[in-house]
Structure 1
Amino acid sequence: MAGLTALADRESSVPLSAEPAAVSTTQAAVTPPSMGWASWNSFASSIDFDVIKQQTDTLVSSGMAAAGYRYVNLDDGWWQGDRNSDGTIAVDADLWPGGMKAVADYIHSKGLKAGIYTDAGKQGCGYYYPTTRPAAPNTGMEGHYQQDLETFQRWGFDYVKIDWCGGRVEGLDPETTYKAIATANEAATAVTGHKLVLSFCEWGSGLPWNWATGHGDLWRTSTDVILWGQTPTTAMMLTNFDRGLHPAAQHTGYYNDPDMLMVGMSGLTAAQNRLHMGLWAISGAPLLAGNNLATMSTTTRDILTNREVIAIDQDPRGLQGVKVAEDTRNLQVYGKVLAGTGKRAVLLLNRTGSAASMTVRWADLGLTPAAASVRNAWTGTNAGSLSTGYTTTVPANDAVLLTVSGTEASGATYENTTTATTPTFTGVTAASAGTKLVDITYANGGSTPRKATIQVGGQYTSVVAFPPTGSASTYRTVSVLAHLAKGANTVRFAAVSGAATPDIDAVRVQGIPGTDGTALVGTASNRCVDIDKNTITNATQAQIWDCSGGRNQTFTHTARNELVVYGNKCLDADNNGTTNGTKVIIWDCTGGNNQKWTTHTDGTITNNLSGLCLDASEAATANGTKLILWACSGQANQKWTLT
C-alpha cells in the first residue's frame, strides 16, 4: 500500500513551498464530447448518398462545421442486411453509388469525420421497428464483430453507433457484449491501424455508467429522446437530461449520452431549443444535431452555433454538471466545474409553470463567497461582479445559462511518497458525504494516452485516461468527480491489463458543497441505505449494503422533509402505502406525503403519510436486505444514524 502525505492546498494557511514540487496545477485537455449531425431524427431509414451529401454540404455552409460540429453520422437504414459469401457486408449500389468508402471519402473531403451504425445483436432496430423502409433482417453485427469493425475502418469511418434492439430481444448481457465489441475494436485496429469512436446505445438498460467508461467513448443513458413520428416536447428533453446525470462515470474523454438533439425540429419554439442546448451543455453531453440542416431557420442555426454555449459543453476538463441546490421544488441549480481556476458554468432551471426568482450561491459550487464575475452565455453579456451569489428571474419552463469566474475554495492534496506508479491513497478525508472534485497529478512520457483505474472504497471501478504530458518528468492534472463518504476514504489506482501506466503522483480533493448529503446507517446492521447497483429506475426497492460513500447511498434531507438520492429521486412509500410491509422505493419527487420523512431523536425515521417506521425487513442485517415500512417497535432494525 502506498504511503501519502496530506497537504493543504494554495488557498490554505500552509505555505505554497510545502507542496511537493511534482504536484501540478496545469490541466491536461481531454477529448471533448462528440459534436456533429446524425440522420435518424429527421430521415429515419430514408437515407442514401444524396441525403448524406446534402447534409454534409450544409454542415459546412451553415457555419456549423466551423463551430465544432465535425461528425456526419449515418444511422439505421444505410444497410439492408445482405452479406457476401465471405461474410463481409454487401452494400446496396443503388443507395450508395461507389460504396460506403465513397461516402466516407466525401465527408472527409469537407474536413469532417464519418460515422456509421450497427447493432450488437443479429438484427438491427429497423427489423423490429421499421419506419420508412420495410423491415430488413440480419442488419446486426453479432457473429461478425471484428470483421464488421475492420470493414468500417477500411471504409474510413471514424465513429460507430452500436444499437441494442437485437441484443435486447436475444437476451444478451449488455456489459459482456459491449466489452467484447470494445475488444474486437482494438483487434480490428491492430489490423487496419484505424480506430473507431465507440458509441454504446443500450439505452441505460444495463447500467452502463457502472462499467462503460474506458471501454466505450460514450454510452446512452436512456431510451430515445424522441421516437420517429412524435412531436418533440420539453418533457422529452427533461426526462433524458435527468436520466443522463452520472457524474462519476464522465471524465477524461468518456461521456454519458442522453441522445441526439431535437433542436430545430418542428414543434419546438426558440426558447425550447435554447433550453435543450443548455441542458445538454451543462451536462457535457455529445452534441449531435438531428434536424434537417438544409431547411433549418437562421434562428435554429444561431442556437446550434452559439460559441459560448458550445464552449461550456466542450470544456477541456471534460466533467459533467451536478445539481447543487433546489431550495424550492422544481427550481433547480446545476453547476459544472470548468477548466481553469475558479471557473464554473451554472444552469438555473425553472421547471414550474410560473416565472421565478432564482439564486446560485458561490459556496454551493465550491467557490469562496468572494466577488465573482457573472456572464450570460446566451446573450453574451456581463451581469457584473457579485459577492456570495447571483439572483435573477427565470421564465416558466425555461433556464438561464451562466459562466462564473470566482475564487476556488480550499481543498487537500495527498502526495504519493512511494515508488508505485498506480498508488493507493488512504485517509482521504471528507467533512461530509457528497460529490468531490478530484484532480490527479500524473506524468505520461508516451505519445498516446495511458490508462489506469480508479476506485473509491467499495464503489465501482472506473477507467481514467491520462493524455501525454511531454516527458516522464513533466506533470499535468486530469479531473474526475468522485463520491466520498464522510470521514476517511481509500482511493485506489491500478494498472489496466495490457496498457502502459501513467505515473500518478498526487490527488487534490475539493468539495462541491451543494451536493453534500448524509448516509443513513442502520443501528443493527451498521450498513447504509442503498439503491442497488446505482439503479435509477422508478419503483426500485431500497436496501441495506456495506457503506461505500457512493452516490446511491448519499441522501439529501431537504427542508421539505424529503430524502433525495441522485438529486432527483425521492425515498417513497410505494403506492401511498400505509400498511405494514409497504415497500420503500425510489420515485421521481412529487411532493406527496408518502415521500416525506421525519427523523426522531431515538434514531427512528417515520413516513409522514403512514407514521410507520423505516424498517430493515425481518430484522435482517445482511447485504441486500430490503427496506419496508412497519409499525414502530423500538427495535434496532428500525433505528438509523444520519452521518
Structure 2
Amino acid sequence: MSSDSAPGWAGRITVRALALALALALGLAGLTALSGHASPPLSAALAAVSTSQIGVTPPPMGWASWNSFASSIDSDVIKEQTDALVSSGMAAAGYQYVNLDDGWWQGDRNADGSIAVDTDLWPGGMQAVADYIHSKGLKAGIYTDAGRNGCGYYYPTTRPAAPNTGMEGHYQQDLETFQRWGFDYVKIDWCGGRVEGLDQETTYKAIAAANKAATAVTGQELVLSFCEWGSGLPWNWAAGYGDLWRTSTDVILWGQTPTTGMMLTNFDRGLHPTAQHTGSYNDPDMLMVGMSGLTAAQNRLHMGLWAISGAPLLAGNDLATMSTATRDILTNPEVIAVDQDPRGLQGVKVAEDTRNLQVYGKVLTGTGKRAVLLLNRSSASASMTVRWADLGLTGASASVRNVWTGGNAGSHATSYSTTVPAGDAVLLTVSGTEASGSTYEDTTTATTPTFGAVTTGAAGTKLVDITYANGGGTARTATVQVNGQYTSVVAFPPTGSATTYRTVSVLAHLGKGTNTVRFAAVGGGTAPDIDAIRVQDIPGTNGVALVGAASGRCAGLERNTIADGSQAILWDCFGGRNETFSPTSRGELVVYGNKCLDADGNGTANGTKVIIWDCNDGTNQKWTLHSDGTITNDLSGLCLDAEESATANGTKLILWTCNGQTNQQWAFD
C-alpha cells in the first residue's frame, strides 16, 4: 500500500473518535463474492451448512495427576483416582483419560535402551496400569520429556531428582514402548529441551514423525500433547503435528494456592483462534477446579473460561475427596457441550466497550448458534451487553439461555444485557439468525485449489466453512494458507464417498480487500477434494491495518509473538491477526484482543521502543491520530516512527520527535 491510501482527515482526530467511525464503517462493510467468477450451482452441502457440518475430534477430557500429587504417584494412587473418575459420574460425563504426569519413571534404562520400570511403585509394570484404566472403560496417558531429563530432575517436588527421565535419543523406541504398554496419550514436556537449547518446532515435529513410525510397528498411535509452554510459538506450526499444545507456563506451580489471576493469565495466553480447528487444540493447562483455595464461583469461572476457549478439560483435583459441588461443576452437561462442540473452534473476544468488561463469542455447530462469555474483570458488579452483530448474527430476535442456571432468558432483538458480579462471568448460549457470507466455488480440476480473490470489507477473524469430499476410511489432511501467513494443517474426516460433500470449519484472519486462500496436499498423502469455501464476518473482531506511508508495510508483531515487551516492527501486509489493531474509545490500539501498543517503560525520550503490553489504561498506551497521518503517544507527544527512516521488513518501531517525514506517517486501512 502506498501513502495514497492515507485518509485526508481535517483537523486533529483522536483514536477514540476514529474507533466510532470505524465501527460505523465495519457495520456497513460486508464480504463480497468473487466478481465474474463463473461457478456451477452450489453443492447441497453449501446450501445447507447446518446439516452438512461434520464433527471433528473434540478436545481431550480426563484427569491428570500433577496438580494434586506432583511426583508422588504409584499404582495405588492411579487406581484410586481411576475408580473415583467412574464412581463420581465424571467418566459418564465425558472425562475419559487418566494421565500419569511426571514422577512415574525414575530414569533407569535396560541394556537395550528400553525403559526400566520400578516395580515397587508399579507392581506388574506399566502395562498393568494401562490395563486397569482400560478395564474401567477409560483411556491411559503417560509423561515424558523431549530432552534427556524431565522436569522432575530440574525441579524435584516430592521425590529426589532422577536423571535420564527424558526421551531424547530414544524417541521412536520410547513411543513404541508406550504404545505396547497400551497407553493412548503422551504429554511431552520441555524442561530438558529448554536446558539443552533444542529448537521447539524441529524437535516436536521429529517426535510426531517418530510417533507415526512407531504406530507403523505397533498399530497404535498416541495422542500427542506438546508441552513447551508456548515458548516456541506453537500456534504457528503445531496443528497437524500435535493434537494439543501448551500455550503458556503451568497454570499453578506445586505448593501454590490457586487464584483467579492464574486462570485469567493462562486463558489470555491460550487464545489463538486460527490455530485451533479440526481436532487440534490450544492448551492453557490442567484445571484447578476443586483445589483448595477456590470458591464455587471461581470454579465456575474457571470452567467457563476453558469452555469458551474450547480447551482440553483435564481435571487436576483429588477426585477421591472432591465435594459434590465440585463434581457438579465439573460435570455440568451444558458447559461441557460448549467446550466439546463438534465444530471444534475457539471463542474470540468480540467487544470490550468498557475496560475489563469483555465479551467472548464461540461459533457452535448449527446455523445461528453461539456460546457467549460475559467476563467482568473489574472490581465492581456491572451490566454487560452482547450484541448479535458482533457475533456474526443478524439483529433479528435470538433466544438466550444461561448455561450455569440452566434457565432460558427469553428472546431478544439486537442484543442481550445482564448484570455480572465483580471478578466473575456469565456463560450463555444464543440461537439466532446467521448473517450472510460469501461463497467461492472451485471451478478447476484441482483437488486442493487456490481461491485467489476472497474479498472482505474489513480485516478480522472470519468463519470459513470448507466444503470437501473424502471417500476414504480415515481423515485426510491438507494445508491452508491465507496470503503470506503461516500455513496450518487441517484434518478432513471421511464423508462416506468421493461424491458426498460435507464441511469442516476453521477461523482465519483476513485483511481488508482481496485475499488469497491456498490449499495444498501434505507430503505424499492423499488430499481431500476441496470444492468450495464460505467466508463469514465476525464483526466484533474487526480492526485496521496500520500502514507506513514510506514503506507501504504494516505495523505488526514478529512471528505472532504475544509476549509483553515485544517490539512492534514493519512487515509485508498479510492481513494477519498480528497486524490487525482495534482502535478503542479509550484511545488504545489493541492487538490480539488483549495487548495494547505501548511506549516502553512510560518512556518519553527519542528512541523509546514501541512494544505491546497488557492493556492497563496507562497514558503511555493512548494514541492520537492527526490529519497529516502522524500518530502521537499521549504521554510523550512523540510520533510513532519507523527507526532510522528504514522501510525493510523487520524495521523496529520507536517514538521520535515529530519531523514531518514519511516514516512517521501512517494510514489506518
When the two structures are superposed, what TM-score results if normalisation uses the length of structure 1? 0.97
**Aligned-pair distance for 1:17?**
10
Write the distance in 1 (CA, Å) between the matches of 2:215 and 2:557. Answer: 39
Residue 396 of structure 2 is matched in structure 1 by 370
**Which residue in the other structure is 2:435 paired with?**
409
Residues 1:96 and 2:112 aligned together: no
| 2:163 pairs with one of 119, 127, 137 | 137
Confirm or deny: 8 A CA contact 1:27 1:478 kept in the other structure.
yes
Q: Distance in 2 between matches of 1:130 and 1:206?
A: 24
Contact 1:118-1:141 within 8 A present in 2 as well: yes
- 8 Å CA contact 2:602, 2:620 repeated in 1: yes
Q: Does 1:81 align with 2:107?
A: yes
Whole-Å Cα distance in 2 between the matches of residues 498 and 116 of structure 1? 31
How many residue pairs match? The answer is 632
Question: Is residue 92 of structure 2 the alignment partner of residue 66 of structure 1?
Answer: yes
CA distances 1:561-589 after superposition (whole Å, capped 9, x unpaired) = 00000000000000001111100000000
The 5 A counterparts of 1:312-391 are 312-391=338-417
- Asked if 1:19 corresponds to 2:52, the answer is no
Counterpart Cα distance in 2 of 1:138 and 1:290: 26
Q: Quick one: which of 650, 661, 668 aligns to 1:624? A: 650
Distance 1:576 1:7, change over 3 A: closer
- Is 1:52 the counterpart of 2:75? The answer is no
Aligned AA (2:204): Y
Q: State the partner residue of 1:594.
A: 620
**Superposed counterparts of 1:494-573, under 5 Å:** 494-573=520-599
CA contact (8 A) 2:75 2:121 kept: yes
Residue matched to 2:18: none
Query: Aligned to 1:249, what secondary structure does the other structure show?
Result: coil
Q: CA RMSD in A?
A: 1.2
- What's the CA shift for 1:499? 1.6
1:583 and 2:606 matched? no
Pairing partner for 1:230 from 233, 256, 277? 256
Provide the rounded CA distance (Å) in 2 between the counterparts of 1:335 and 1:63. 29
Offset of residue 500 of structure 1: 1.3
Shift, 1:18, TM fit: 5.1
- 1:490 to 2:513 alignment: no
In 2, distance between residues paired with 1:604 and 1:134?
59
Whether contact under 8 Å (2:32, 2:455) holds in the other structure is no
Structure 1 residues not aligned, in runs of 5+: 1-5, 10-15
1:229–1:309 CA distance, 2 compared to 1 (3 A):
same
Question: Structure 1 counterpart of 2:626, which letter?
Answer: H
- Which residue identity lines up with residue 88 of structure 1 in the other structure? S
Equivalent residue of 2:90, what SS?
A: coil
Residues in 2 aligned to 1:65 and 1:87: alpha-carbon distance in whole angstroms: 36
Deviation at 1:601, TM superposition (A): 1.1
- Whole-angstrom CA distance in 1 between matches of 2:239 and 2:43: 31
Equivalent residues of 2:603, 2:636 under 8 A apart = yes
Tell me by how many angstroms 1:550 deviates: 0.3
* 1:609 equivalenced with 2:635 (yes/no): yes
Among 136, 142, 153, the alignment partner of 1:116 is 142
2:268 to 235, 242, 245: 242
What TM-score results when the alignment is normalised by the length of structure 2? 0.94
Match of 2:498 among 463, 472, 476: 472
Of the three residues 158, 181, 194, the one matched with 2:220 is: 194
Partner of 2:20: none
- 1:42 counterpart letter in structure 2: S
The 2-side partners of 1:543 and 1:47 are apart by 47
Separation (CA, whole Å) in 2 of partners of 1:124 and 1:8: 52
The answer to whether the Cα contact below 8 Å between 1:23 and 1:505 also exists between their aligned partners in 2 is no
SS in 2 for 1:272: helix
Matched, 1:219 2:242: no
Per-residue CA deviation, residues 46-68 of structure 1 (Å, 9 max, x unaligned), is 00000000000000000000000
Inter-CA distance 22–50: structure 2 relative to 1 (3 Å threshold) = closer
1:8 CA drift (Å):
6.2
Moved over 4 A (4+): 6-9
Q: Deviations over 1:494-530 (max 9, x none)?
A: 0000221000000000000000000000000000001
Distance between the aligned counterparts of 1:484 and 1:151, measured in 2?
44
Q: Secondary structure at the match of 1:273?
A: helix
> Is residue 2:444 matched to residue 1:418?
yes
Cα distance per residue 1:172-204 (max 9 Å; x no partner): 000000000000000000000000000000000
User: 1 CA distance for matches of 2:64 and 2:46?
Assistant: 42
Q: CA deviation at 1:7?
A: 8.4
Structure scoring higher RCO (CA < 8 A, sep ≥ 6) equals 2
Structure 2: which 5+ runs fail to align? 1-30
Q: How far has the Cα of 1:19 moved from its partner? A: 2.8
